C-alpha cells in the first residue's frame, strides 16, 4: 500500500531521480517544451515550479539555491533573464501538460508535452484574439417585423429615405418600380 506517499519515485534511486529531473528542468527552461511520459511530466512540474518562483526574485541567494538544483549556467542565464521577465506577473502555474493521443511504441506509455505557459505563441495569439473578440458587443440578428437580417433592414430603410423635394415612396413601392422598369433590348424575351 502507498498510503501518504506523495513522491512518485519513478522506479529510480534518489540520486538518479534528482539527476533526471534536474536535466529535464534544464531542457524545459532552454527549449520551453519537452515531450515525455505523463508520470515524469507531473514529477517535473512539482520539481520546476518552485525554481521558477525563486527566479522571480533575482537575488544572490535565489540564484545560488536554483544553481544548486540545476547545475547548469546556460539554463540559469535563461531562467533569470527571459523566463523570469515573462512570468513576473503570473502568481503560479507556470507549466502546462498537454496529453498526446499517441502512446510510446516500446512500452505503450502515455505521452505528453510539458511546456512553459507564457511561451506557447499559438495559444497566446488565440487567447488575445478571443479577448479582442469578446470586447465587441453582439447585436441581435432579428430586427423589425418578420425577423429580417440587419443588413436587409438597413438596405430597406436606405431605399425609403425621403428628401424634401421628392414625394414619399415606401421601400416596397421602390422595389416594385425597379422591377417594372424596362430592361435592355438584348435581354428582353422575343415572342
For 85-99, how does the pLDDT look when each residue is reduced to its tens digit (9 = 90+)? 999 999 999 999 999
Residue 148: other Cβ atoms inside 10 A = 15
pLDDT of residue 163: 47
- Distance in Å from the first CA to the final CA of the chain: 97
Kindly report the average pLDDT of the chain as a whole number: 83
With a cut of 50, say whether residue 7 has pLDDT above it.
Answer: yes
Using CA atoms, how far apart are residues 111 and 86, in angstroms rounded to an integer? 27
Using CA atoms, how far apart are residues 10 and 179, in angstroms rounded to an integer? 80
Q: Is residue 9 part of a domain?
A: no
Q: How many domains does the chain have?
A: 2
Q: Residue 166: which domain range?
A: 136-177
With a cut of 70, say whether residue 131 has pLDDT above it.
Answer: yes
In terms of pLDDT, which residue wins out, 181 or 40? 40
Grid coordinates standing for 142? 432579428
* Helix (H) or strand (E) segment spanning residue 35: strand 33-37
Torsion (CA) 37, 41, 47, 53 in degrees, nearest 10: 160
The answer to whether 33 and 115 are in contact (CB under 8 A) is yes
Q: Is residue 7 part of a domain?
A: no
Which region among 48-52, 59-63, 159-163 has the lowest average model confidence (pLDDT)? 159-163
Q: Is residue 186 part of a domain?
A: no
The answer to whether 28 and 21 are in contact (CB under 8 A) is no
Q: Is residue 185 part of a domain?
A: no
Q: Is residue 161 part of a domain?
A: yes
Grid coordinates standing for 186? 438584348
Mean pLDDT within 144-170: 52
pLDDT of residue 69: 96
Which region among 31-40, 105-114, 145-154, 155-164 has the lowest average model confidence (pLDDT)? 155-164
Looking up residue 54, the CATH number of its domain turns out to be: 3.90.1030.10
pLDDT (tens digit, 9 = 90+) per residue, 67-85?
Answer: 999 999 999 999 999 999 9
Amino acid at each position: 500500500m502507498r498510503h501518504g506517499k506523495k513522491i512518485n519515485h519513478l522506479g529510480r534511486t534518489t540520486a538518479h531521480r534528482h539527476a533526471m529531473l534536474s536535466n529535464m528542468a534544464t531542457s524545459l527552461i532552454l527549449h520551453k517544451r519537452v515531450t515525455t511520459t505523463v508520470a515524469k511530466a507531473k514529477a517535473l512540474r512539482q520539481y520546476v515550479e518552485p525554481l521558477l518562483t525563486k527566479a522571480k526574485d533575482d537575488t544572490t541567494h535565489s540564484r545560488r539555491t536554483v544553481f544548486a538544483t540545476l547545475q547548469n549556467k546556460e539554463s540559469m542565464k535563461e531562467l533569470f533573464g527571459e523566463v523570469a521577465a515573462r512570468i513576473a506577473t503570473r502568481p503560479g502555474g507556470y507549466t502546462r501538460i498537454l496529453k498526446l493521443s499517441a502512446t510510446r511504441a516500446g512500452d505503450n506509455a502515455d505521452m505528453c508535452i510539458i511546456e512553459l505557459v507564457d511561451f506557447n505563441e499559438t495559444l497566446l495569439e488565440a487567447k488575445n484574439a478571443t479577448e479582442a473578440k469578446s470586447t465587441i458587443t453582439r447585436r441581435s440578428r432579428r430586427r423589425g417585423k418578420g425577423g429580417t437580417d440587419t443588413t436587409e433592414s438597413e438596405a430597406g430603410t436606405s431605399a425609403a429615405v425621403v428628401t424634401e423635394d421628392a414625394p414619399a415612396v415606401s421601400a416596397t413601392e421602390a422595389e416594385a418600380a425597379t422591377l417594372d422598369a424596362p430592361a435592355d433590348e438584348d435581354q428582353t424575351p422575343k415572342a
